[in-house]
Amino acid sequence: MAVSDLQRAEIDAVRSEQTPTRREVAPALEEVLYEAIPVLDHGFVRVIDYMGTDSAIVQAARVSYGKGTKKVNEDAGLINYLVRHRHTTPLEMCEIKFHIKLPMFVARQWIRHRTANVNEYSARYSILDKEFYVPKMEHLAAQSKQNHQGRGDVLEGAEAAQVLEWLKNDSAQAYEHYEQMLNMDAAGNVLDENRKGLARELARMNLPVNFYTQWYWKVDLHNLLHFLSLRADSHAQYEIRVYAEAMLDLVKKWVPITYEAFMRYRLGAVSFSAPAMVVLKKMLAGEKITQEQSGLSKGEWREVMTALEMPLE
C-alpha cells in the first residue's frame, strides 16, 4: 500500500483547501496536486508545489512584462526552438517540488543527479516502516552478457520462485532484527522494559537497500528534463524508469507545450557523433559501408545501426 489511511486523510484534507492566487497555474496539474501516484509496490510520487508554466518560459525568453498577447502557436514555436537548440535558461524559470517514496537502492541511483534540492527521511530520528520492495516475477532477470550494468533473460520457474522467497524472507528477518535491536516495534512501542535498545542511527545499518525511504525533491524544469531524458529512457533500470514515467506524465499536465517539445526533440530523438554523421551521409549517398570501414567502434556502430533499425552485419 503506497499510503496509509492516516496519510490518505491528510492528503484529502490538504486537497480540499482552496487558496486564491494571482499567479498563473496549470489547471491539469492542480487537479492532481498533493495526490499520491502509486509506483512499484509501496512507492509513490506527489507534487507538493510548483512555480511557473509554459508562459513563464516564454516570458523569460522574451523578457516581457506579463503573460503577453502572443498566440499559443507562436509560444509553441518559441519553446520548440528553445528545446531544439538547447537554450535552457528560460526553462530554469520553472520549478517543481515532489514528495517521493522509493526503495533505497533507487534513491542511491537517483541522488547522482546533483542538480536538485533534497531532504530525506531520517532513520536516525524516526523508525522506518516495514515496507520493502519485492520485484514481480517478470522483472527478475539474469545479468546481461553484453551490458555490464543491465539485465538479460528473465528467470523462470523454480529459480525465480527461489529468488522471490529469499528476497521476502531476508527482508522480513532483517526488519525483525531491526525492531529487536531498537527494542521497539514499528509503532514505537517498547518490546522489553528491561532493555535499552540500540541507537536508531546504528540499528538502521542492518536493513537491506530494498527498504523504502522518502524525500522531498525540488528541481527546476531544465534539470528535471535532463533527469527524465536519462531515466525515462528504455535503457534505464526498470525500478527508476517507472518513477520517471510517472513524473513525465506530471510534466505533461504542468507544461504541456514544453512536454511535447521534449518528447519530439529529446526523449524521442537520437544524437549522432561527427564521425557517425560522415557514415550516415555516405550511406544516404548509396555507399555500402561496414563497421571496419566506418572508423566507429563496435559499440557505436551497434548503437547507430540500432537507432536506424538496420541489421548488424
Rg (Cα) of the chain, in Å, rounded? 24
pLDDT of residue 268: 83
First to last CA, the chain: 49
Closest C-alpha to 51, from 221, 215, 217 = 221
Dihedral, 57, 59, 62, 64 alpha carbons, nearest 10: -170
CA 158 vs. chain centroid, Å, equals 32
Q: How many CA atoms lie within 13 A of 288 on its CB side?
A: 3
As a whole number of angstroms, the distance between CA 137 and CA 155 comes to 8
| Residues contacting 147, CB < 8 A, separation 6+ | none
Those residues with Cβ within 8 angstroms of residue 136's Cβ, 6 or more apart along the chain or in another chain: none
pLDDT, residue 1, reads 63
Q: Are 283 and 311 in contact (CB under 8 A)?
A: no
Could you identify the residue written with the cell 482552496? 18
Q: Report the Cα 272 to chain-centroid distance in Å.
A: 25
Separation of alpha carbons 13 and 34, rounded Å: 10
User: Are 300 and 273 in contact, with CB atoms under 8 Å apart?
Assistant: yes
pLDDT of 78 reads 94
pLDDT on residue 145: 66
Q: How does pLDDT run along the chain (313 residues), one tens digit per residue? A: 678 888 889 999 999 988 888 889 999 999 999 999 999 999 999 999 999 999 999 999 998 666 655 677 889 999 999 999 999 999 999 999 999 999 999 999 999 999 999 999 999 999 999 999 999 988 888 666 666 666 667 888 899 899 999 999 999 999 999 999 999 888 889 988 999 999 999 999 999 999 999 999 999 999 999 999 999 998 899 999 999 999 999 999 999 999 999 999 999 888 999 999 999 999 999 999 998 999 999 989 999 998 898 887 6
In the chain the beta strands, taken as DSSP E runs, fall at 37-39, 43-51, 95-103, 117-120, 141-143, 151-154, 212-220
Query: CA torsion 116→51→79→220, rounded to 10°?
Result: 0
Question: What are 11-49's pLDDT values in tens digits?
Answer: 999 999 888 888 899 999 999 999 999 999 999 999 999
Task: Please state, as a whole number, how many other Cβ atoms lie within 10 Å of the Cβ of residue 221.
Answer: 26
pTM, two decimals, is 0.90
* Predicted local confidence at residue 277, as pLDDT: 95
Kindly list the catalytic residues. 231
Provide the angle, in degrees to the nearest 10, between the axes of the packed helices 221-231 and 238-254. Answer: 140
The C-alpha cell at 54 is 509554459
- By CB atoms closer than 10 A (0-12, 13-18, 19+), residue 301 is buried
Predicted local confidence at residue 260, as pLDDT: 97
Asked if residues 193 and 87 have their Cβ atoms less than 8 Å apart, the reply is: no
C-alpha 130: how far from its chain's center? Answer: 23
